[in-house]
């Protein structure tokens, strides 16, 4: 697992998250974590609409932070990425690759750009005396992948990988793991929720394996757009004001209308997440969800963990620190913003 120094980049709806570090057998060593604004209109749902201005933003970040590392990995997500769990009989590696592609093609809409198909063997088991594999497969529109390749070349960097967040993050929690100094048993089922600006992604991981990943199309921005007109604020000002909200203090129905509105939106968002927990549990896969972990900028709302817990009745922990990260620089904002990028340092 020990590799060379790597930069990993997660281009999001609001920020470009850049991490420089190295993945060792002992864990991750991060030496830089840089956040820059995603230029307005340059990115949506995994697609970079304007590679050039994203390139300029990353280039500036490289220069200002004196980053020299050429090897770059990207992690992204898009509702256009199609994932499936397939069951295949035991076969040779090359045959398996063809069989997976053939099988996947029936799920893919025919598009001009085509798809890049990748898979990993999640599990092997015996059924009716036949050895089989459980395979997690992802098909990414080729246009999305090409854009990242072009971006790396435009930056004169060496692209080594393009991953999807759900896969990147599941590597962080593949074995026994610790969050904020507390250890967790890998044999249980956990939900990891990435609360971004435009999206909220629910990942359910059981026994270290990703069992469900769903991108919900709402995020922190919903709160800004709902609150801004009430106070006649610009979206930027409303976003700043949001950081003052304390979900854990004043109660519902308080004189603070803004906080009530925020609670209302968050309750709706939580209900959408809860539907996914119920869906997962109803499929009978393993036990119920033991603990929910939240990360992503949107998880920074004060008192959010307790607020979600009061609705879903499951323990909620905001990720501020991860045991797998052995060294990290002072981060402002915190590690919660860099979970996808940090995870993408792990290459195997």
Ligand X SMILES: Nc1ncnc2c1ncn2[C@@H]1O[C@H](COP(=O)(O)OP(=O)(O)OP(=O)(O)O)[C@@H](O)[C@H]1O
337 binds, among ligand X, Mg ion, none (CB under 5 to 8 A by kind): ligand X
Q: Helix, strand, coil: what percent of the chain each, to 5?
A: 35, 35, 30
Q: Which is nearer to ligand X, 173 or 218 (CB)?
A: 218
* Greatest alpha-carbon span in the chain: 68
Q: Which is nearer to Mg ion, 189 or 220 (CB)?
A: 220
Round to whole Å and give the CA distance between 23 and 344. 10
- The reply on whether position 159 binds ligand X by CB under 6 A is no
Between the CA atoms of 323, 327, 332 and 336, what dihedral angle is there, to the nearest 10 degrees? -20
Question: Edge to edge, what strands does the sheet with 189-195 contain?
Answer: 209-216, 200-206, 189-195, 291-295, 315-318
| Contacting residues for 109 by C-beta, under 8 A, at least 6 apart | none
- The reply on whether position 196 binds Mg ion by CB under 5 A is yes
**Whose CA is closest to 223, among 12, 14, 9, 11?**
14
- The reply on whether position 214 binds ligand X by CB under 6 A is no
- The reply on whether position 141 binds ligand X by CB under 6 A is no
Which of 12, 141, 159, 220 is in the footprint of Mg ion by CB under 5 A?
A: 12
Q: Which stretch binds ligand X (CB under 6 A): 7-15, 104-112, 117-125, 141-149?
A: 7-15
141 binds, among ligand X, Mg ion, none (CB under 5 to 8 A by kind): none
Q: Which is nearer to ligand X, 15 or 177 (CB)?
A: 15
What is the full DSSP assignment across 149-160? HHHHHHTT-EEE
CB of 296 to ligand X, least distance (A): 4
Per-residue string for binding with ligand X, 320-339, x by CB under 6 A? -------------x---x--
Which of 219, 343, 344, 345 is in the footprint of ligand X by CB under 6 A?
A: 219
Q: Which stretch binds Mg ion (CB under 5 A): 9-17, 24-32, 34-42, 103-111?
A: 9-17
Q: Which stretch binds ligand X (CB under 6 A): 19-27, 83-91, 226-234, 296-304?
A: 296-304
Under DSSP, is residue 77 helix (H, G, I), strand (E, B) or coil? Answer: coil
Q: What DSSP designation does 324 have?
A: T
Q: Are strands 71-76 and 325-327 parallel, antiparallel or unpaired?
A: unpaired
Q: Which is nearer to ligand X, 183 or 249 (CB)?
A: 249
Q: Report the run of H or E that residue 72 belongs to, with start and end.
A: strand 71-76
Q: Are 1 and 67 in contact (CB under 8 A)?
A: no
- The reply on whether position 280 binds ligand X by CB under 6 A is no
Q: Which stretch binds ligand X (CB under 6 A): 47-55, 121-129, 197-205, 277-285?
A: 197-205
Read off φ and ψ for residue 324, nearest 5 degrees. Answer: -65, -20
The residue ranges that bind Mg ion (CB under 5 A) are 12, 196
The residue ranges that bind ligand X (CB under 6 A) are 12-15, 196-199, 219-221, 239, 242-243, 296-298, 300-301, 333, 337
């Amino acid at each position: 697992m020990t590799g060379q120094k790597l930069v990993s980049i997660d281009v999001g709806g609001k920020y470009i998250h850049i991490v420089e570090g190295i993945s060792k057998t002992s864990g991750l060593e991060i030496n830089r974590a840089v956040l820059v604004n995603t230029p307005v209109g340059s990115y949506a749902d995994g697609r970079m609409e304007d590679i050039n201005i994203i390139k300029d933003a990353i280039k500036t970040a490289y220069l200002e932070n004196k980053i020299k590392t050429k090897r770059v990995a990207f992690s992204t997500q898009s509702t256009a990425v199609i994932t499936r769990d397939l069951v295949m009989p035991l076969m040779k590696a090359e045959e398996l690759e063809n069989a997976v592609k053939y099988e996947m093609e029936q799920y893919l809409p025919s598009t001009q750009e085509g798809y890049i198909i990748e898979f990993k063997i999640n599990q092997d088991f015996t059924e009716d005396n036949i050895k089989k594999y459980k395979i997690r497969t992802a098909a990414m529109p080729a246009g999305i992948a090409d854009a990242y390749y072009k971006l790396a070349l435009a930056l004169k960097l060496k692209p080594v990988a393009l991953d999807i967040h759900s896969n990147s993050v599941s590597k962080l929690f593949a074995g026994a793991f610790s969050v904020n100094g507390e250890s967790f048993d890998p044999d249980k089922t956990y939900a990891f929720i990435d609360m971004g600006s435009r999206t909220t992604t629910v990942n359910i991981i059981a026994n270290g394996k990703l069992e469900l990943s769903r991108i919900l199309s709402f995020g922190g921005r919903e709160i800004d757009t709902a609150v801004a007109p009430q106070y006649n604020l610009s979206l930027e000002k409303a976003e700043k004001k949001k950081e003052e909200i304390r979900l854990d203090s004043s109660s519902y129905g308080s004189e603070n209308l803004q906080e009530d509105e925020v609670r209302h939106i968050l309750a709706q968002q939580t209900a959408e997440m809860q539907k996914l927990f119920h869906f997962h549990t109803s499929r009978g896969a393993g036990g119920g969800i033991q603990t929910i972990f939240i990360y992503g900028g949107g998880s920074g709302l004060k008192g959010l963990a307790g607020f979600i817990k009061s609705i879903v009745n499951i323990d909620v922990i905001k990720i501020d620190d991860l045991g797998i990260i052995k060294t990290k620089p002072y981060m402002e904002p915190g590690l919660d913003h860099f979970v996808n990028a940090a995870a993408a340092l792990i290459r195997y």
